[in-house]
Amino acid sequence: MEEEPPPQPDDPASDHTAAQHKRARSNSDSSVSAASLHSTRTLHDEDLEFVHENGRIYGNDSYYMPCDQPEQDRLTLQHQIYLLALKGKLTTTKVSPKTSRILDLGTGPGDWAVGMAKECPWAEVVGIDMAVWDLDITETTAGDTEVRWEIDNLDVWGIEDEFDDIVLRMERVDLARDLAERDPVDSPARPRAKTSGSNTQPQTPAESAYDLYVLNPDEQPGWHFSDSYDLIHMRGMKGVFGYWEGVYEEVYKTLSPGGWVEVVDYHIDLPQMEQETRNPASFPFPTLAKLHLALLQASVKSGRPLGTYYMHPSYLSDAGFKDVSTTYVNVPIGQWPEDEEQRKIGKLFMVCVMEMLEAHLLRPLTVWGDAERVWSVDEVRSLIVKAKEEILEWNTVMEERREPGRRSVFAGWEWKANFKWIIGRKPLYDL
Ligand SMILES: C[S@@+](CC[C@H](N)C(=O)[O-])C[C@H]1O[C@@H](n2cnc3c(N)ncnc32)[C@H](O)[C@@H]1O
């Protein structure tokens, strides 16, 4: 029987269509199987608080990305890019008939979960998200599958509200570096003890980098899942949590002995950022660079820093995982590659990047702002238009310069994203 769609507040100003939410995910009141999933549920249908903001729809007040139809379309396109990057594979873990229970956390429109259900018809696949997406579209695209959809808010830790302190410490951090490939020495592996007043004391750069991510809440509640899983998957979860140590502890607890976790995400750097300082006039992305830095600053201010730092192997090994390993794939952005297949991926990903600009930037810059101030909606939107022009212009130049066998023509100007899959195994016996 079809369930009623969740209530959607009216917003005449909205210029985006909300996902139709034809089939709501189940909650503990409406699904017998859901009751076995959790002993403690944090979110119910009636709690869903869709926020209409500047023409976009968000799942709550704290997560930075929208959950409307344009975002669903973008995530589905992005799913194809993940697949192309991994040569059609959905996972870097070894799935066997023993993999009988699979959990996708922050599943979004559920493309990965549906794909896994198709590939592993013997397995029970569960997808959890705090927002409701149009699952009918996903399942129609992917065929007849059995996935159990659940709604839940996984961020049970919240964030520490130390706004001024975070802004102060931000000045000493190289955001582009520290939020991407975090050095293990700077790893915020352990939450610091909360001490009043001490956070504004002078610190060494290493200490400030260490402290930046440690947004340790007073209480450390967990997920309290009552069932265990053989594979837990999380994809595109940067900016969802401010307390990753707690997330990995919960994932570890929720896995069966011998089970695998897989965390997937990507990081985009602008090509040759240092070109900007060497010759500002020739740098093709001045607006994009400005927006990129502002977004990183806003995310830190929000308490949920962006970047793939949360995929550093130290997080997994500190939580107890073994056989931790990472698969890296560089994915081109734009039509510069000589190789036809790569050029096709680059074109698709460029479309995805242009679509993601507003989804990524609008809320962070208009709510939290960069290191100095909160931006206006018009300012963000007009800079996005400019940034898109820069991308298109750069792509045209790169296409014109593309000549077989003359890669040096582009040296340093290729634009790529670094896609990562990190996996770890829960040992059969806890020593
Ligand atoms: C960038 S999307 C990735 C979706 C999907 N994993 C994919 O790769 O297509 C992040 C997802 O995390 C979900 N999310 C954000 N905060 C969450 C929370 N506190 N609890 C559960 N899901 C959350 C969002 O609703 C969104 O679907």
Is the CB of 115 within 6 Å of ligand 1?
Answer: no
Q: Which range (20-34, 319-333, 343-357, 397-411) has the least confidence?
A: 20-34
Q: Which range (158-172, 196-210, 284-298, 318-332) has the least confidence?
A: 196-210
Given a cut of 60, whether residue 61 has pLDDT beyond it is: yes
Whose CA is closest to atom 11 on ligand 1?
A: 106
Q: Which residue has the higher pLDDT, 57 or 144?
A: 57
pLDDT tens digits for range 251-266: 999 999 999 999 999 9
| Structure tokens, 176 | 């582009």
Is the CB of 130 within 6 Å of ligand 1?
Answer: yes
pLDDT of residue 88: 96
pLDDT tens digits for range 197-238: 332 232 333 333 334 444 444 445 788 888 899 999 999 999
Is the CB of 59 within 6 Å of ligand 1?
Answer: yes
**b/e sequence 390-421, b meaning 16+ C-beta within 10 Å:** bbeebbeebeeebeeeeeeebeebbbbbbbbb
Given a cut of 60, whether residue 4 has pLDDT beyond it is: no
Given a cut of 60, whether residue 351 has pLDDT beyond it is: yes
Q: Which domains does the chain have, with CATH numbers?
A: 45-173+220-403+413-426 (3.40.50.150)
Q: In angstroms, what is the span from residue 107 Cα to ligand 1's centroid?
A: 6
Q: Which range (48-57, 140-149, 246-255) has the least confidence?
A: 140-149
Q: Which of 43, 102, 114, 129 to mutate to test the pocket of ligand 1 (most atoms within 8 A of CB)?
A: 129
Is the CB of 298 within 6 Å of ligand 1?
Answer: no
Q: Name the percent of the chain lying above pLDDT 90.
A: 50
pLDDT of residue 165: 63
Q: In angstroms, what is the span from residue 240 Cα to ligand 1's centroid?
A: 7
Q: Which of 63, 76, 356 to mutate to test the pocket of ligand 1 (most atoms within 8 A of CB)?
A: 63
Is the CB of 90 within 6 Å of ligand 1?
Answer: no
pLDDT of residue 207: 34
Q: Which range (136-150, 268-282, 385-399) has the least confidence?
A: 268-282
> Strand 51-53 to strand 56-58: parallel, antiparallel, or no bridges (unpaired)?
antiparallel
**Inter-residue contact 140 to 28 (CB < 8 Å):** no
Given a cut of 90, whether residue 114 has pLDDT beyond it is: yes
Q: In angstroms, what is the span from residue 357 Cα to ligand 1's centroid?
A: 17
pLDDT of residue 187: 34
Q: How far is CA 312 from CA 45, 168, 189, 247, 426, in A?
A: 35, 25, 10, 14, 17
Q: Which residue has the higher pLDDT, 120 or 242?
A: 120
Q: Which residue has the higher pLDDT, 94 or 398?
A: 94
Given a cut of 60, whether residue 142 has pLDDT beyond it is: yes
Q: In angstroms, what is the span from residue 339 Cα to ligand 1's centroid?
A: 33
pLDDT of residue 412: 67
pLDDT tens digits for range 271-313: 765 554 555 556 788 899 999 999 999 998 888 888 898 999 9
pLDDT of residue 169: 59
State the average pLDDT over residues 74-83: 97
Q: Which range (118-132, 135-149, 225-239, 341-355) has the least confidence?
A: 135-149
Q: In angstroms, what is the span from residue 237 Cα to ligand 1's centroid?
A: 6
Given a cut of 60, whether residue 94 has pLDDT beyond it is: yes
Q: Which range (83-92, 300-309, 318-327, 360-369) has the least confidence?
A: 300-309
Q: In angstroms, what is the span from residue 286 Cα to ligand 1's centroid?
A: 30
Is the CB of 82 within 6 Å of ligand 1?
Answer: no
Q: Which range (105-119, 123-137, 367-381) has the least confidence?
A: 123-137
Mean pLDDT taken over the chain: 78
Given a cut of 60, whether residue 6 has pLDDT beyond it is: no
State the average pLDDT over residues 155-168: 70
As beta bridge partners, residue 53 has 56
Q: In angstroms, what is the span from residue 104 Cα to ligand 1's centroid?
A: 10
State the average pLDDT over residues 122-138: 90
Q: In angstroms, what is the span from residue 20 Cα to ligand 1's centroid?
A: 18
Given a cut of 60, whether residue 338 has pLDDT beyond it is: yes
